Structure 1
Amino acid sequence: MLFIKTFSFFILYINLAVCEKFRFDNYSVFKIIPETEQQYQILQDIRRDDPRYDFWTDPLPLREFVNVMSSPGDKTYLEDILQKNEIKYEIVMQNIQEAIDEEIVNTFTRSGIRNMEWNAYYNLNDINGWLDDLVATYPNTVSRIIGGVSYEGRDIRGIKISHGSGRRAIFIESGIHAREWISPATTCYIINELLTSNHTETRAAARDYDWYIFPVTNPDGYIWSHEQFRMWRKNRQPYGTNFGVDLNRNWNNNWLVAGSSSNPALDTYAGPGPFSEPETRSLSSYIQSIGDQIDMYIATHSFGHLLLLPFGNSTEPYGNYHDAMNIGRRAMGALSVRYGTMYRTGNIAEAIYRATGGSVDWVKEQIKVPLVYVYEFRDNGTYGFLLPPSQILPNSEEVMDSLLELIHQAKRLGYLNSSSRFYASIYICLSAFLITLLR
């Protein structure tokens, strides 16, 4: 009973406190390596029944490891369970507040677009200020776009980069999970490269396509992660005494089927219904309004070194799965060249776990975008969501390398041109028909 009261107070604090930022002194991160079905089941039971532990990765057999954050008071209990059941583990971070303190958050100086640096993170106000400066600096190429609105009334802001009419579009959605700071940071780097790089392939990519880019699609949550609670994931809509919905479980595609929760206290809460949140509802409407122009849709997340394809509800090779896998694997080969970082490619259900209600599944099925990918950026379990600022630039560089290769390989297979949507739609319909016949 004491635990329940204590935990309830903790949840109430992180939901409502506005006076003092929560500190994670002596909070630890475990890297757990289960090897048997029984060991996975033990972790799954803890994940489901014991809200004291924040599972940064889900305990499923497709995962090579499971990251779990523990408070100092609950650390010994978790260690006892792991040792009793002979589950291998190491504590990769003894005090995550130290890592948080080392996260450099810079201030962007307006009227100087090159003042944006790639060795620091930025808050929402500074990111939006930089976007405004880009619009002012490149008025013939860059325009301000609004993809929707948040629960607290903030615009979901982005930019469109275009060198003329009639071009096919590439759409980048980032920052839907608030605590994944490397997602907006890398997306801002991509924007910068598209506008300032002298690299031939980068300039061609910028010139040949329209780019719709949104660095932060969960503005309320991103602000909360900066100002109040660093590990916040959801948006900030209240539900009873709890706050927030996992916006990447709230899209109207197999909603609440797998990998999400109906419990508002949990990080994977999918909301009371599909598109219950103003962020997903308005952003999906914006995507629909330009859907016939989009040939590639990219969502960025962290962490795990993964490039994922739809869908999250099945491992069946739906649609143009084989083309998308071929393109993705070659792109991840390009990603590995610069720093040796190895990514795994597969659809969501086969590469990590079954998870539905995500943006990419909805975009693939409803908008019929031919090529849809999810990046899970660095790292591979050492720092998790607290990627050191020194890794922002290396992560961004290797991702940019892979993005150019995605485009190159897509063009090689006949995508990203004016007729690609027509042929891709026929291919998807035929594939779905054949799969139905073979069942």
Structure 2
Amino acid sequence: MDVMVEGPRATQVASMLHEREIPYAIAVGDVNVLLEREQGTVLNKLRRNSSANRTMDWHTYHRLDSIYAFIDNLGREYPYLCTVMVIGKSVEGRDLKLLKISNGNSTNTSVWMDGSIHPREWISTAVVTYIANHLVRNFTNLSDSVTNKDWYILPVLNPDGYEYTHTYDRMWRKNRAPYGECVGVDLNRNFSYGWGEKGEEGSSDDPGNIFFRGSKAFSEPETSAVKRLIVGADTTFKVFLSFHSYGEVIIFPWGYTGDPCPDYVELLEGGTAMAKAIFETSGHTYKVGSTKDLMYYAAGNSIDWSYGVANIPYSYMVELRGKQYRFLLPREEIIPTAREAMSGVLRLMEFVDTRTKSAQSCASTK
């Protein structure tokens, strides 16, 4: 468990833990130091004043308007590949802007990718936009396992929270929905499959808790928009990838129970293929397993829903770097993290196609 303590109280908290013989270690001595390294103090001030004119790159973290301008620009530059869609509105009325990349082939299957369902996890949006940029600008040179798919990419699933982390509270996790005197629902506890299971272990019914699951499944407009798009799309989704930080793990269903999902071995092998590609790219080791095996109970999360309800067979949550910096990954690590993640994604596409062809071959010989 990570506990964030105000500087003047650090000694007091350390004494309390010591008296109770609770082992502890100081992970980050001064959060402000990491904040400055993550963004750069001067750069951060400039970006807060005006981010609309910034050109999208992956040498720093960007505000929502820059990210949306990047999506719009791809749509204008590559109209034969890119479609920009607003799939819904956030609690505070911001667009949920999605980029679809497709060659228009009617036989394509589909891939879903999202970032920043938890808005403090900035690296997830940086990785998703990096992958989107690579796919679009290199589409004609990519393998069939990439080009034979329609890519649905939502870089910022929680735009209100994302902006809030840039302007008020860097560590904000939830959306910005008012619930009495409290604010926010953990959107990754608001999906219907397993919603509310395992009581306070899997989520919380307390609006003041960071794991608050909402008043009911899909109570929030952000999660409802994802459900509406996927369930209503005239396509077959094969892969669902939700990017998070931090942990350096690749996890799959279930999160609401400790029982293995029906396709545990298949998902383990697909995740392992991703992890091997990541290791070959950067030397970083990502662990692979179910949510409960590697982390904790997480009831009502998006990949349990995508696998259990939307029937998307390869559903993964990718927890990116980094253990050392927690949520405040320095900006110089954006590109290395994005490159290794992209290698994992591309390898997964190869794995999925190989398994699909194998299954078709077996069916034709019966």
Written as runs of structure 1 = structure 2, the 5 A alignment for 1:14-25 is none
Q: Report whether the alignment pairs 1:400 with 2:342.
A: yes
Please state how far the C-alpha of 1:146 moved relative to its aligned partner: 2.1
What is the aligned counterpart of 1:220 among 160, 172, 176? 160
Equivalences, count: 349
C-alpha change, 1:239 and 1:168, in structure 2 (3 Å) is same
**Residue type matched to 1:165 in 2?**
N
2:18 alignment partner in structure 1: 83
Q: Which of 333-342 and 207-216 deviates more?
A: 333-342
| Equivalent position of 1:125 in the other structure | 65
Residue in 1 that maps onto 2:243: 300
Question: In the alignment, which residue of structure 1 is the partner of 2:125?
Answer: 184
Opposite residue 396 of structure 1, the aligned amino acid is: A
Q: Distance in 2 between matches of 1:288 and 1:347?
A: 24
Asked whether the 8 Å contact 1:312–1:361 carries over to 2, the reply is yes
Query: Residues of 2 paired with 1:69 and 1:127: CA distance?
Result: 29
Paired residue for 2:332, among 390, 393, 418?
390
Structure whose CA Rg is larger? 1
CA distance in 2, matches of 1:329, 1:67: 28
Paired-residue identity, %: 34
Other-structure match for 2:148: 208
Change (3 A) 1:262 1:403: same
Structure 1 gap ranges (5+):
1-65, 424-439
Pick one of 297, 301, 307 that aligns with 1:354.
297
* Distance apart, 1:239 and its partner CA: 0.8
TM-score between both structures, scaled by the size of structure 2? 0.90
The 5 Å alignment of 1:46-125 reads 66-104=1-39, 107=51, 109=53, 115-125=55-65
- Determine which of 322, 337, 340 is the counterpart of 2:280: 337
Matched, 1:195 2:160: no
Q: Deviations over 1:270-302 (max 9, x none)?
A: 111111111112221111112752110100100
Secondary structure in 2 matching 1:270: coil
Residue in structure 1 matching 2:316, options 367, 373, 395? 373
Go from structure 1 to structure 2 and tell me whether the alpha carbon gap of 1:233 and 1:378 turns closer, same or farther (over 3 Å shift).
same
After TM superposition, list the pairs within 5 Å mapping 1:192-341 onto structure 2: 192-197=133-138, 200=141, 202-258=142-198, 259-290=202-233, 292-341=235-284
Residues 108, 130 of structure 1: 8 Å contact kept: no
Give, as a single letter, the amino acid of the residue that structure 2 aligns with 1:303: Y
| CA shift digits 1:174-202 (9 cap, x unpaired) | 111010000100000000110123895x4
Unaligned runs of 5+ in 2: none
- Name the TM-score, length of structure 1 as normaliser: 0.75
> 1:76 and 1:255, CA in 2 relative to 1: closer, same or farther beyond 3 A?
same
SS of residue paired to 1:121: coil
**Partners of 2:146 and 2:349 within 8 A in 1:** no
Please give the secondary structure, in 2, of the residue aligned with 1:144: strand
Q: What's the offset of the Cα at 1:315?
A: 2.9
Task: Kindly indicate whether structure 1 or structure 2 has the higher relative contact order, using CA contacts under 8 Å at least 6 residues apart.
Answer: 2
Contact 1:291/1:367, CA 8 A, preserved across alignment: no
Q: Would the aligned equivalents of 1:194 and 1:203 in 2 still touch at CA under 8 Å?
A: no
1:214-269 CA distance string (max 9 Å, x none): 00010111111111111111111111111111011111112122321111111111
CA 1:78/1:389 → structure 2, altered by over 3 Å: closer, same or farther? same
Paired AA for residue 30 in structure 2 = N
